[in-house]
Amino acid sequence: MTYAENILETIGNTPLVKMNKITAEIDALVLAKYETFNPGNSVKDRMALKMLKEAEANGLIKPGGTIIEGTSGNTGMGLALAAIVKGYKMLCVMSDKQSKEKMDILKAVGSEVIVCPTDVAPDDPESYYSVAKRMAREIPNSWYVNQYDNLANSKAHYESTGPEIWKQTDGKITHFVVGVGTGGTISGVGKYLKEQNPNIKIWGIDTYGSVFKKYHETGEFDENEIYPYVTEGIGEDILPKNVDFSVIDGFTKVTDKDAAIYTRKLAREEGFFLGNSAGAAAKGLLQLKEHFTKDDVVVVLFHDHGSRYVGKMFNDDWMKQHDFL
């Protein structure tokens, strides 16, 4: 008989799926690394389990303890599943721009959810970064995950996601495209792929209101680049330690409107029911099309599932309120 010992053993080995209609104007073969096939419906399951295993090995959390993390939702879900299997409590601290579905899903799997304002500086006591750190100081036998600076994040993708993509493309991949938030995925996958073939190009998808693109191009952390944005899961107003700019060849920025519209287009034209960052990545692919030739193999990674955005990007009223329709 073939079966997994628990749900965590089903993480990884997600399929590559050819894109057809949306990428019709791109000469290259475009393949989607479809991460919603993970049990928590996102790429974050990989690094959540890796970070927890390393914390256990280093004695950072004891049996019955509490996992605490500031999350946009997906890392929280991955950690929540691991917490259930391993017998921990889960406390998720989120910003109020995240979808209600994400908050409800986390509660459904037994997590406590604390919501903080989005429009404050990272070092503000009310920011979700600050609140998560404070809770970790106050709650006994707790572990603050800190996915932004915890290098087990990028290590997970170096050990699993990168090798999977290399094997699935038979080493023929020429470009890797992915949205950048904590930086773990692009840095881990990028490092692995460039070790196999340094000519592979690694492209990050950024959003307006985030510092990544300008910092990569100029080395300047420009606070004037920072302002609130709607797109979830990508972009930052900080520089996480997981972002290894040396393996990234470039960034392209996608507007909130384009990200939302292309999230819907993926569902209606490809049958890809995916999250907001996938829409940004799809539009980013089209913005980068002059970099691809007919002989290229482009892999774009899609992070999470459309069920987390039913009240937002997939809701006509919400789209009209934001002037996206």
- Phi and psi of 175, rounded to 5°? -140, 140
Residue type, 56: E
Write out the E strands in 35-145.
Answer: 66-70, 89-95, 112-116, 142-144
Task: Assess whether pLDDT exceeds 90 at residue 97.
Answer: no
pLDDT (tens digit, 9 = 90+) per residue, 28-45? 999 999 999 999 999 999
- Whether residue 232 contacts residue 276, with contact meaning beta carbons closer than 8 Å, is answered with yes
Residues in the chain: 325
Tell me, rounded to whole angstroms, the distance of Cα 278 from its chain centroid: 10
CA atoms within 13 A on the CB side of 92: 29
Active site residues: 44
Distances (CA, A) of 98 to 6, 140, 208, 241: 29, 28, 17, 23
User: Mean pLDDT throughout 190-198?
Assistant: 98
pLDDT at 119: 86
pLDDT (tens digit, 9 = 90+) per residue, 30-88? 999 999 999 999 999 999 999 999 999 999 999 999 999 998 889 999 999 999 999 99
What is the C-alpha separation between 184 and 151, in angstroms, rounded?
Answer: 8
What is the C-alpha separation between 227 and 219, in angstroms, rounded?
Answer: 19
What is the C-alpha separation between 180 and 203, in angstroms, rounded?
Answer: 9
- Indicate the average pLDDT of the chain: 96
Q: What structural domains does the chain harbor?
A: 7-38+160-318 (3.40.50.1100), 44-144 (3.40.50.1100)
Name all contacts of 18-22 with Cβ < 8 Å and 24+ positions apart: 19/270, 19/300, 20/270, 21/269, 21/270, 22/262, 22/265, 22/266, 22/269, 22/270, 22/282, 22/285, 22/286
pLDDT at 136: 94
What is the C-alpha separation between 316 and 48, in angstroms, rounded?
Answer: 33
What is the C-alpha separation between 151 and 197, in angstroms, rounded?
Answer: 23
Write out the E strands in the chain.
Answer: 16-18, 29-34, 66-70, 89-95, 112-116, 142-144, 175-179, 201-207, 250-254, 297-302
What is the C-alpha separation between 191 and 189, in angstroms, rounded?
Answer: 6
pLDDT at 105: 94
pLDDT (tens digit, 9 = 90+) per residue, 219-271? 999 999 999 999 999 999 999 999 999 999 999 999 999 999 999 999 999 99
Share of the chain above pLDDT 70, in %: 100
pLDDT (tens digit, 9 = 90+) per residue, 15-24? 999 999 999 9
